[in-house]
């Protein structure tokens, strides 16, 4: 938990916007309350903040939905560079004159580079203050503004040749490549594909790669979930373009879905939360998968080889079978 972020929010005026990504979750879990607005691209964080902030918004950082200007925007910088650049670019438009963008981060977050980018956008000198092991960059909106920074055209969904024409966008982990783990899982799916009409659940769907691969093998209905707003936009676009039968919904590892609905569950769970490796993320996905599967269903998981899924999975499933191990990834079949 960032002590500097906590301090900046505690003493912020009510007309403050807190940009909260996964690095901010620990603060909310501690019961922290905040009188201003919170905007997050993470479904779990936006839901967690609903009774702890003045207003809580979930979107792919669509500032225009907030319908107000702020005296302060406080942001612990994200892991994804395009996200940080997008927020730096938009901040002056949603600050009143004299308002401040406060960037917070540790050395490993790239805060020194982002402080320089913010100075470029705000048309001022680079501002960086050290507070223990953390840094703050406070940038004042003077009304003149400066040159925008490269955010890779953040807002645009685009079809990519690298994804065989699937749509994706910056802000999504591995947005412009096929993840090696997902590709390995897709290669193993055929023997386990259910019959036509079966219900498939994809937990942590990203831009929908696994669903689109499975859709080529039969006629299924899909429920695809993700915690990330950019992922939901991209997956929804791909479902529409390919006329897949299914829905794309925000969810924290499937916790909001009904029980015993899946004939097949597919999952490439994240193991990073912000800048940290979080082992309990795998447990959360396993626990929800066991709840979501029909008694006759199966789950297919792919994880980095250092994740002890065989051991973890036995707490939730009667059988955990390794079916592939290549290039640092393992695919497991799990039976209720």
Predicted confidence (pLDDT) per residue in 314-330, tens digit: 999 999 999 999 999 99
Q: What would the mean pLDDT of 182-190 be, rounded to a whole number?
A: 96
- Alpha helices, H only, the chain: 3-10, 25-29, 43-48, 81-90, 111-122, 180-188, 209-215, 229-241, 280-292, 309-313
Of the pLDDT bands very low, low, confident and very high (cuts 50, 70, 90), residue 102 is very high
Of the pLDDT bands very low, low, confident and very high (cuts 50, 70, 90), residue 277 is very low
Q: What would the mean pLDDT of 108-137 be, rounded to a whole number?
A: 95
Of the pLDDT bands very low, low, confident and very high (cuts 50, 70, 90), residue 274 is very low
Instruction: Indicate if the pLDDT at residue 272 is higher than 70.
Output: no
Phi then psi dihedrals of residue 205, to 5 deg: -70, -20
Give the model's pLDDT for residue 233. 98
Q: What is the pLDDT of residues 48-91, one digit of tens each?
A: 999 999 999 999 999 999 989 999 999 999 999 999 999 999 99
- Say how many C-beta atoms besides its own lie within 10 A of residue 202's C-beta: 26
Instruction: Indicate if the pLDDT at residue 4 is higher than 60.
Output: yes
Nearest 5°: CA angle at 161, between 148 and 166? 90
Task: Report the C-alpha gap between 22 and 27 in whole angstroms.
Answer: 10
How far apart, in Å, are the Cα atoms of 134 and each of 16, 110, 292?
21, 11, 41
Q: What would the mean pLDDT of 233-257 be, rounded to a whole number?
A: 96
Contact at 8 Å (CB) between 208 and 164? no
Handedness of CA 14, 17, 22, 23 (dihedral sign): negative
Give the model's pLDDT for residue 222. 98
Instruction: Indicate if the pLDDT at residue 270 is higher than 90.
Output: no
The mean pLDDT of the chain is 93
Of the pLDDT bands very low, low, confident and very high (cuts 50, 70, 90), residue 2 is confident
Burial of 196: CB neighbours in 10 Å, binned 0-12, 13-18, 19+: exposed
Q: Would you give the end-to-end CA distance of the chain in angstroms?
A: 36
**240-249 long-range CB contacts below 8 Å, 24 or more apart?**
241/167, 242/212, 242/215, 244/211, 244/212, 244/215, 245/219, 245/220, 245/221, 246/200, 246/211, 246/220, 246/221, 246/222, 247/222, 247/223, 248/205, 248/208, 248/224, 249/223, 249/224, 249/225
Phi then psi dihedrals of residue 75, to 5 deg: -145, 115
Q: What would the mean pLDDT of 218-246 be, rounded to a whole number?
A: 97
Task: Report the C-alpha gap between 41 and 58 in whole angstroms.
Answer: 6
User: If residue 248 lies in a helix (H) or strand (E), which one and from where to where?
Assistant: strand 246-250
Task: Report the C-alpha gap between 50 and 37 in whole angstroms.
Answer: 10
Residue 235: closest CA among 175, 189, 294:
175
- What the block records as the tokens of 92 is 């002056």
Instruction: Indicate if the pLDDT at residue 313 is higher than 80.
Output: yes
Give the model's pLDDT for residue 1. 56
Instruction: Indicate if the pLDDT at residue 186 is higher than 60.
Output: yes
Of the pLDDT bands very low, low, confident and very high (cuts 50, 70, 90), residue 276 is very low
Instruction: Indicate if the pLDDT at residue 280 is higher than 80.
Output: no
- What the block records as the tokens of 272 is 């990073």
Give the model's pLDDT for residue 285. 96
């Amino acid at each position: 938990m960032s002590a500097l972020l906590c301090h900046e929010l505690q003493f912020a005026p009510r007309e403050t916007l807190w940009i909260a990504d996964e690095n901010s979750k620990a603060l909310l879990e501690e019961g922290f309350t905040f009188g201003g607005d919170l905007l997050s691209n993470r479904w779990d964080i936006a839901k967690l903040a609903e009774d702890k902030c003045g207003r809580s918004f979930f979107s792919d950082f669509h500032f225009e939905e907030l319908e107000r200007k702020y005296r302060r925007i406080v942001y612990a910088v994200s892991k994804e560079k395009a996200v940080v650049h997008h927020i730096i670019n938009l901040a002056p438009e949603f600050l009143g004159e004299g308002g401040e963008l406060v960037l917070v981060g540790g050395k490993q977050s790239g805060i020194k580079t982002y402080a320089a980018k913010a100075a470029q956008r705000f048309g001022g000198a680079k501002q960086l203050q050290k507070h223990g092991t953390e840094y703050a960059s406070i940038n004042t909106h003077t009304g003149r503004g400066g040159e925008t920074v490269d955010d890779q055209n953040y807002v645009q969904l685009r079809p990519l040749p690298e994804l065989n024409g699937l749509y994706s966008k910056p802000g999504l982990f591995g947005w412009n490549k096929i993840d090696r783990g997902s590709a390995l899982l897709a290669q193993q799916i055929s023997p386990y594909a259910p019959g036509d009409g079966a219900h498939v659940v994809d937990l942590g769907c990203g831009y929908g790669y696994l669903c689109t691969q499975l859709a080529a093998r039969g006629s299924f209905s899909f429920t695809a979930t993700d915690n990330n707003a950019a992922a939901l936009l991209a997956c929804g676009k791909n479902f529409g373009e390919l006329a897949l039968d299914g829905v794309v919904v925000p969810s924290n590892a499937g916790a909001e879905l009904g029980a015993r609905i899946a004939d097949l569950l597919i999952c490439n769970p994240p193991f990073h939360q912000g800048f940290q490796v979080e082992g309990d993320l795998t447990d959360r996905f396993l626990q929800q998968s066991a709840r979501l599967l029909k008694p006759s269903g199966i789950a297919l998981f792919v994880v980095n080889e250092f994740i002890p899924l065989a051991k973890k999975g036995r707490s939730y499933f009667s059988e955990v079978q390794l079916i592939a191990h290549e290039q640092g990834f393992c695919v497991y079949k799990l039976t209720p």
